[in-house]
């Protein structure tokens, strides 16, 4: 059964430019290398919700767990933490459309 890795965060205002360079140039390609497929990206423009939500698909839970336990994932996440705050993640059964 496919699963989604849901991640949310807020971009640190003082690192906005570096954040976008990292996400496009390293984070997304790195996620793909460890076996996760980008599915959705959402930005909140109004309200008290996380600024960014990203959903990545994995074919099944064991694949998602292997990816999230990999050294590459740890490296990518640590780099992301330099540019964001209020990070959270969870793995849920994949359903069509927006999931929060």
Within a domain: residue 35?
yes
Range of the domain at 57: 5-93
Residues 6 or more apart in contact with residue 98 via CB below 8 angstroms: 40, 42
pTM of the model: 0.89
- CATH code assigned at 49: 3.30.70.100
Q: What is the dihedral sign for C-alpha 61, 52, 31, 81?
A: negative
Spatial separation of the C-alpha atoms in residues 59 and 86, rounded to whole Å = 27
Within a domain: residue 58?
yes
Within a domain: residue 30?
yes
Structural domains in the chain (count): 1
pLDDT at position 35 = 95
Confidence class for position 47, pLDDT limits 50, 70, 90: confident
Within a domain: residue 98?
no
| Tens-digit pLDDT profile for residues 21-36 | 999 999 999 999 999 9
């Amino acid at each position: 059964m496919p699963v989604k890795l849901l991640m949310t965060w807020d971009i640190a205002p003082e690192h906005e430019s570096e954040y976008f360079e990292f996400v496009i140039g390293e984070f997304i390609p790195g996620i793909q290398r460890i076996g996760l497929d980008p599915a959705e990206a959402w930005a909140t423009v109004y309200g008290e919700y996380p600024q960014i939500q990203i959903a990545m698909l994995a074919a099944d839970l064991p694949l998602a767990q292997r990816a999230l336990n990999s050294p590459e994932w740890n490296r990518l996440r640590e780099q992301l933490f330099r540019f964001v705050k209020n990070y959270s993640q969870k793995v849920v059964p994949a359903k069509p459309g927006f999931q929060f």
